[in-house]
Amino acid sequence: MRRMALIAAVLAIAPGLAAAQRGSRTGSAATQRTTDRFGTGEQARVPSVSRHELEDLNPLDVLLDKHGDLRLTDDQVARLKTMDQNLKQASEPAFHTLDSLNQELANMGSDPQGDDAARARTMNILTRMVANGTRQRYDSAEQDARALLTADQQKKAEDVLKVDHERLDRIAGHGRGG
């Protein structure tokens, strides 16, 4: 609940902060760095991250889908299902926030200008922050799941999850461990 309140507060003050930072005609160094990174106008509209895209990268779902290839026992499957339900419940507020951010971006149109462009850049940054938080939850859940697996199962799980790790890193905006 506190997290949702914090995100709502950030969304409420972000447009004002972005407008206040613009200042002079040439802009501050911070504004210039933001513009350089996220562009202006249509360039500010980096591809959004969808809830379904992140849900598809849930490592516990992937492990459960590949339970036959991994040769998981019934006990391992039951424990992974419980962990998966808990992870989905913990991720729901972030996914709700992501849906809200994407809706706001969609409402701005395809070429936001002025204040809307600044808000779009801010929302894109917040979207990446939500994706990164989800990645951290997924990493933690994956580590807990690996503790349930045998050494042979862990090796197979690494192979199964490798592509998803790369996609999740790309969505979150940086590589693992950083």
**DSSP structure string for 69-132:** HHT--HHHHHHHHHHHHHHHHHHHHHHHHHHHHHHHHHHT-SS--THHHHHHHHHHHHHHHHHH
Measure the CA–CA gap between 178 and 169, rounded to whole angstroms: 10
The two three-digit tokens of residue 17, written as one number: 């902060």
Question: Cα 41 to the chain's mean position, in Å?
Answer: 23
pTM of the model: 0.67
Measure the CA–CA gap between 123 and 178, rounded to whole angstroms: 21
* 8 A C-beta contact, residue 65 and residue 84: no
Which of 106, 102, 104 shows the shortest CA–CA distance to 94?
102
The two three-digit tokens of residue 164, written as one number: 């998803």
* 8 A C-beta contact, residue 30 and residue 127: no
Question: Cα 107 to the chain's mean position, in Å?
Answer: 20
pLDDT of the residue at 155: 93
| Binned average pLDDT, 10 residues per bin, the chain of 178 residues | 59 54 44 44 55 90 92 94 96 92 80 78 86 92 94 92 85 59
pLDDT of the residue at 168: 82
Cα→Cα distances 70→29, 148, 157, 170, Å = 52, 12, 7, 26
Residue with tokens 């969808």: 50
**Is the alpha carbon torsion for 13, 15, 21, 24 positive or negative?**
negative
N residues, the chain: 178
